[in-house]
Structure 1
């Protein structure tokens, strides 16, 4: 009872706890409780689990500056204890804190990794298991930092999958890790698949479920590179689609359905096509069972099949669509008025923040009327959420073939917009927008142009926050920035009429400890949307972005480089008097090593784009002999291919205006050209930039054919 009361106090009296700076004292009481043993049943509450729930609440609602420093001190102290219970508590507390403090933790991860490494190799299984759980949490919130350490972390996690004491937790951690890896996975794929395939044969069903999910994550990360493992994997997974027993077997069946859908996306339609009839029949069978979870997985599978096969999925619509419509007609129990009343009293019970499949019992203490003592089946609500989402996906990919179902589905989705569960409302709204986009795509309407004075195709006329705050509060600031950016994109230059109102608000958050990066990114996106409309605001915006180029946070510097570049590109104001200071500050962003963070690598690419935009705008005031060696030393761009457009436009500009200068850099430029034009990386260049680059290479071949041939570009020319 005391721990439950503490949880409620943290959530609903957070301002008082923050003002009294009580986080340290509370943590010092909670972590010893976390050292107690946990029950075998994962769904059973215990003092230790309630203690970690309270730690999670502290990290979520309080500023990370109040929570993580004392927690870090305790975790370091506990990890040195001879008591494995205290070491377990340290790992679990670290894990549950990451969600609420991720941005605060990010710059310090290099010094924190030894704690995780120590936990993964601890002599006690309970500590290793807790370290796996903590690592899975870190993967979710600090993707780049985890991906960079693949050579250390993947072998460590794979070793723990052979350990009976940590097998399930290690497989869960592996699943979380594979979700965030990209090309890094390729070198480990044979080892990973050998281990996971072995576990599919030998592990108990709960572990098989986690292993199956990890296989899906491996396919998602490796994409077409998974093809050599596809036949054997699907042969092993297909039998799981016939499991009938409730509980663990049905869970495994649902996860296998999801994983097979991921395999289809990885290997493509041609390789997957022979299996579709049998797999669709298995999915239909699952959808006909009495399990909301199996129906949910089947609906997701239908959506994936529509994505992979497009209009070829149309023959299945007559079987799929009635199922989706029937799901949306279900009732969860209780009258609508009663549910609405209870939702108003208990809004958190119906938010998407809790994906539990449990029955939620809601009994208002002050009302003994049996009509209010209802049970809301959240599993059915989630099923309806997935059904609504799948409708939009299927229309997007089957196009004209979906039209016979369009009216029924539209009415069904509109009916869900007032549903008490926000997940259903969100999915219904997203699908309705997908319907609009898909229908618009079928109508051959004229191209949209940005601006405030809009007409439809028929030409009908239409009538102070604290600088320190919880990181979840920053999510709202970031989302608001995205909305402002979207408005600027839609209104174009007309956004200048209101930008004067938004600029001081955005500028305020560029000084915030937690929101500088997102606010700076918002500035760049707004400038991109406004184009020439930014001219009147050039001086104040340039002052902000230039100062942020020297920020301690690499993500802020990266976003500031982009914002500075697009400001110079779009403004009609001559900012060349500031070029010297800007170039000096941008130069520091080019100092990137192989072990630098992903944000620093992105920063180099954005700096290259900014310098290139400056060259295009006014190359006469730039000391090319000093700037070009640094700029071209950053080629080819590795992280932000969108910046290739200004980089190559600047190259074309200089070849037109200063060809003798550019000929001195061919030994650097030609290999970069070859990389950019490689068929293995087709997304590096836009079609117009690619075409102009090919023309440039043809021109150069007439002058330096040997160098063109040596760079492997003769075939291009």
Structure 2
């Protein structure tokens, strides 16, 4: 029913008064008005509200009132949550969906009327935005489309602009229109006499291209050149805001549809370079002009690499921006580093270098960058030296492969600038070394620790410039995180002295950084830090006891972190004396935390977990103190904000408070990420408690499971999802430990079906976990990294629960989930092969594709792990479901898939290696599917990882397959011999395949002895293939067998004699010709079995020095070695001893074996 005019006359004054109050500067007035709007209008009389706003939008004499009415109409119409949760019968759905059809018709009519009549630009734009929003939710509005077509050809520029503004907000209006007609209309608009119309048309075209599909998009993308024609007039007229708006819109399109820019890339490159290098223009204009090019580089790197001068121009511009720094005195006198405002242009240039390195790759970027960087480093201007160092820091990750080979030269280039006359250049040198220490770990720590630390440690003495001191200490964190204690040891005392000195600084940020660095150094030094314990821990406890006040919260937090890292490093025996005092201080600190943003919260969460790890079961009494705040943090929910596109988010939601915004469907959607980091840390700590405390954690396990299981769908933060998934199996393990204790203390055989018992709760928990994980696996099929975590967690849980853990329904769901990912992976492999076969994949694109494949292969490894554990625990019941996997599984053995370094065959072989091991001789029924592929994969033409999986599989067939496999195993021996005797058998890439081949032979010797006609020959081949030093699992099997031979003198002599003859007759590789002094080698070849003894001694020495064997077996082998040597002459002993290199001789002596 139409609104009565009398009613409207009564409503309008009240509504206009409400609108005035909504704009009031007084918070109370505005808050009450918002409540009135929600309760008395949106809920109580929505029809009157919308019609009143629409009437005001049309009839008010004040343009600001008309505009505000349009804004309110938009906001109210589409609003669902009115902040009235206390009302039990609050209506559902939007106001627009709840008003009558007649009201909607009247409102739409008045919107079109206002569009036609509105004379004020600001008000009309607001009307257009409201029309777009309403059109997005309306199924049919034919009058709108007709009105827009009329407006787009109107003689009034304002109406033409409005039409395209509405198309921008609701591009779906054009989806069903003739593509050619749409294109023609846009092309006319791009040439419009009005600048505003051209810009509006450009934005609309971008939005439409982003949603267009198939033939529509292909027909429309030919108008890209005409779209770019909008830019030049803006530049000529110095309309920088127009440039920013248009380039921002085009950047959106470049990210989604980069290939459309291929024909215009040369022109766009020139234009972007011209604008971004013009220092007379605003920073925002320059940055967006460069941003669109960098976005294209990220979205279509191959296309950009092929564009002449693309990389060269962008690197020049980025480096120039990075040198755009002022020597601001505030940089030197800040009291807290958070006060520093980043120089936007310089930081943006640095980010560009990082993004270009990651997208274009080192092969293209590195030559350009290092053509400029040395020149900049030698400049008299400190800004250029600073920019050059920061550029090295920025490109390391993206240029990793090439820079790794030149790392020594890079360090020699950077390190002299630790002594630069300008402090900000020295600061940049610290930054660069810190970043390189992260990007190139552990290489930089292992090979170049001397050059790094000889420069970095003295930088902490720069007392005149505390910023440099602090940054040097921060870089030390990066270095120490990946440094073994042997690397840290020679520098520890000097480093600790410097860091203790920093604690006396009058700058709190220096003290804070020194404490953080001490924590990291202690973590790396481990027990070596014991000698410094008494010097630092009392000071840290003093900070916690005496440093009160809000300004010291971060310092206290870092002290908490440091003292608990030290406790972990030195061990409970050293720390125990201070443990009670520290815990008292932590409890006191925890009780004093009242603000949600207190930085001590996150430090406390992690510190308690470290103490748990140090103290083990002694920590249990403190769990009731720790768990409530931990569970509170783990239960935090993200804060959200939804703002209009034209609202300034920074006014209410600052980045410093952790707010991040993204524009979605014309609105700014904000989320407070700092809360999520705390939540993630809390969940990670729960993992630690469950793992360390076992049954002691069980009282909390049910509550924690109820918390973490729903977080598998927590899409706001990947870390929370991953940590929650990883937490499940340790929690389940803690419950099982409690079940074991319960079972040991009762005779009730029906515990699992008795409500209230630990066993009953455990069974219910596993049922819930199993169903949740299987559902998540199906739902997350497109998220490769998370799928990997889900399958791994599922496998771990299956292992915890044990035999018969899955019923038929669960086995069915599991097999369906596995088949789903098998199909998905085969599709991905096929897609990659097609990319390669297209001939359009360059080296960098191949690298990116390879990285995707690595991620996928890691996920598939988790799938294989899950298949193995399900098969192990449910062998007989799973077989019928395993049969359903066969059609997809055998596709992974297709030789065509291996042509582009695909993981498929290796993964396939690993699955069936496990299958044979777990099902034994009955697996022969399935041998037709895998055995031919396994034997074929032993060929040297196959990849090393495929040969490794195949060789391991042959050994498994020998060990577990029984007599039925013996003929096939015997036929594989020549191929295994080829692997062992290959001249490249001991190379880094081949060593694991070789060692698995050697191990396969020993399993054949042990388990298939009766079926080997050439037993002695196979044993000699095996012996010649030793040592096995890197695959620890296989080493145990090989050396246990060798020890048995050492106990049997007759077999040993036969083996040594055979080796001797084969070596002399060149049947086996002459591996000692280049390793042993020729005189000694000649002598040993003349004594009985001398070369066999030489090999035996070196095999035993190598494995003893490598330390891969269990202590008992190592001791037995060492004793046998001594016995063998006792039977030799002194001259033979001397020759054998001299065949061992000096380093190994020293190791034998240190180990007590010589």
Q: Same fold (TM over 0.5)?
A: yes
The one of 562, 579, 590 equivalent to 1:259 is: 562
Structure 1 residues 547 and 669: CA distance shift in structure 2, 3 A: closer
Give the Å deviation of 1:135: 1.8
The one of 507, 522, 530 equivalent to 1:227 is: 530
Give the Å deviation of 1:202: 3.3
| Separation of aligned partners in 1, 2:909 and 2:563 | 40
Of the structure 1 ranges 408-417 and 655-664, higher mean CA displacement relative to structure 2 is found in 655-664
Structure 1 segment 367-378 matched on structure 2, within 5 A: 376-378=671-673
Aligned to 2:619: 313
* 1:180 to 2:478 alignment: no
Aligned to 1:659: 1052
Aligned to 2:316: 28
Structure 1 residues 65 and 206: CA distance shift in structure 2, 3 A: same
Structure 1 residues 294 and 476: CA distance shift in structure 2, 3 A: farther
The one of 728, 749, 755 equivalent to 1:432 is: 728
| Separation of aligned partners in 2, 1:186 and 1:75 | 34
| Separation of aligned partners in 2, 1:211 and 1:521 | 48
| Separation of aligned partners in 2, 1:292 and 1:471 | 43
| Separation of aligned partners in 1, 2:732 and 2:600 | 29
Please tell me whether Structure 1 or Structure 2 has the larger radius of gyration of its CA atoms: 2
Structure 1 residues 110 and 700: CA distance shift in structure 2, 3 A: closer
Tell me which of the two structures has the higher relative contact order, counting C-alpha pairs closer than 8 angstroms and 6 or more residues apart.
1
Give the Å deviation of 1:187: 2.1
Aligned to 1:151: 450
| Separation of aligned partners in 1, 2:515 and 2:343 | 27
* 1:577 to 2:974 alignment: yes
Are the counterparts in 1 of residues 360 and 844 from structure 2 also a CA contact under 8 Å? Answer: no
Structure 1 residues 583 and 695: CA distance shift in structure 2, 3 A: closer
| Separation of aligned partners in 2, 1:530 and 1:645 | 22
Are the counterparts in 1 of residues 798 and 805 from structure 2 also a CA contact under 8 Å? Answer: no
The one of 291, 298, 307 equivalent to 1:14 is: 298
Structure 1 segment 226-375 matched on structure 2, within 5 A: 226-242=529-545, 243-246=547-550, 249-287=552-590, 288-289=592-593, 290=595, 291-334=597-640, 358-362=657-661, 364=663
| Separation of aligned partners in 2, 1:123 and 1:642 | 56
| Separation of aligned partners in 2, 1:506 and 1:139 | 41
Deviations 1:452-510 (A, max 9, x none): xx963486663434463396765543232122122223334968764443356996586
* 1:609 to 2:995 alignment: yes
The one of 398, 406, 409 equivalent to 2:693 is: 398
| Separation of aligned partners in 1, 2:385 and 2:402 | 23
Structure 1 segment 89-104 matched on structure 2, within 5 A: 89-104=387-402
Structure 1: gaps (5+ residues): 347-355, 550-558, 591-599
Structure 1 residues 645 and 94: CA distance shift in structure 2, 3 A: farther
* 1:535 to 2:919 alignment: no
Aligned to 1:645: 1036
Question: How does the TM-score come out when normalised to structure 1?
Answer: 0.78
Question: How does the TM-score come out when normalised to structure 2?
Answer: 0.50
| Separation of aligned partners in 2, 1:651 and 1:78 | 63
Are the counterparts in 2 of residues 312 and 398 from structure 1 also a CA contact under 8 Å? Answer: no
Give the Å deviation of 1:417: 3.9
Give the Å deviation of 1:391: 1.7
Secondary structure class of the residue paired with 1:201: coil
Structure 1 residues 700 and 329: CA distance shift in structure 2, 3 A: closer
Give the Å deviation of 1:300: 0.5
| Separation of aligned partners in 1, 2:340 and 2:981 | 56
| Separation of aligned partners in 2, 1:458 and 1:561 | 34
Are the counterparts in 1 of residues 947 and 993 from structure 2 also a CA contact under 8 Å? Answer: yes
Deviations 1:62-121 (A, max 9, x none): 444333342233334433444433232222112112223324533443443332334445
| Separation of aligned partners in 2, 1:28 and 1:126 | 22
Secondary structure class of the residue paired with 2:659: strand
* 1:131 to 2:429 alignment: yes
Are the counterparts in 2 of residues 528 and 566 from structure 1 also a CA contact under 8 Å? Answer: yes
Give the Å deviation of 1:425: 2.7
Secondary structure class of the residue paired with 1:202: coil
For the aligned residues, what is the CA RMSD? 4.4
| Separation of aligned partners in 2, 1:123 and 1:487 | 57
| Separation of aligned partners in 2, 1:5 and 1:246 | 43
Secondary structure class of the residue paired with 1:181: coil
Structure 1 segment 504-523 matched on structure 2, within 5 A: 511=901
Give the Å deviation of 1:313: 1.0
Give the Å deviation of 1:51: 0.5
Aligned to 1:485: 861
Are the counterparts in 2 of residues 181 and 221 from structure 1 also a CA contact under 8 Å? Answer: yes
Secondary structure class of the residue paired with 1:468: helix
Are the counterparts in 2 of residues 175 and 217 from structure 1 also a CA contact under 8 Å? Answer: yes
| Separation of aligned partners in 2, 1:381 and 1:191 | 39
Secondary structure class of the residue paired with 1:362: strand
Give the Å deviation of 1:31: 0.7
The one of 207, 232, 237 equivalent to 2:510 is: 207
Structure 1 residues 692 and 497: CA distance shift in structure 2, 3 A: farther
Aligned to 2:719: 423
Give the Å deviation of 1:191: 1.7
Structure 1 residues 154 and 716: CA distance shift in structure 2, 3 A: closer
Are the counterparts in 2 of residues 63 and 469 from structure 1 also a CA contact under 8 Å? Answer: no
| Separation of aligned partners in 1, 2:380 and 2:1016 | 68
Give the Å deviation of 1:393: 1.5
Give the Å deviation of 1:433: 3.3
* 1:502 to 2:858 alignment: no
* 1:384 to 2:679 alignment: yes
Structure 1 residues 456 and 238: CA distance shift in structure 2, 3 A: same
* 1:160 to 2:160 alignment: no
Deviations 1:127-147 (A, max 9, x none): 332222122122212213202
Are the counterparts in 2 of residues 99 and 141 from structure 1 also a CA contact under 8 Å? Answer: yes
Secondary structure class of the residue paired with 2:324: coil
Aligned to 1:685: 1109
Give the Å deviation of 1:215: 1.2
Of the structure 1 ranges 89-98 and 658-667, higher mean CA displacement relative to structure 2 is found in 658-667
| Separation of aligned partners in 1, 2:481 and 2:525 | 10
Deviations 1:557-597 (A, max 9, x none): xx68855764664465544434565345554746xxxxxxx
Structure 2: gaps (5+ residues): 1-283, 332-338, 650-654, 741-758, 764-794, 813-830, 833-840, 872-881, 918-926, 958-967, 1006-1014, 1057-1091, 1134-1144
| Separation of aligned partners in 2, 1:565 and 1:11 | 47
Of the structure 1 ranges 214-223 and 528-537, higher mean CA displacement relative to structure 2 is found in 528-537
| Separation of aligned partners in 2, 1:170 and 1:71 | 25
Are the counterparts in 1 of residues 701 and 735 from structure 2 also a CA contact under 8 Å? Answer: no
Structure 1 residues 27 and 408: CA distance shift in structure 2, 3 A: same
| Separation of aligned partners in 2, 1:13 and 1:505 | 35
| Separation of aligned partners in 1, 2:724 and 2:1020 | 55
Structure 1 residues 563 and 4: CA distance shift in structure 2, 3 A: farther
Secondary structure class of the residue paired with 2:358: helix
Deviations 1:652-711 (A, max 9, x none): 4764685132644465455556546xxxx7xx324xxx4444444555666656999x97
Give the Å deviation of 1:27: 0.9
| Separation of aligned partners in 1, 2:1150 and 2:1126 | 9
Are the counterparts in 1 of residues 695 and 734 from structure 2 also a CA contact under 8 Å? Answer: no
| Separation of aligned partners in 1, 2:405 and 2:520 | 27
Are the counterparts in 2 of residues 520 and 563 from structure 1 also a CA contact under 8 Å? Answer: no
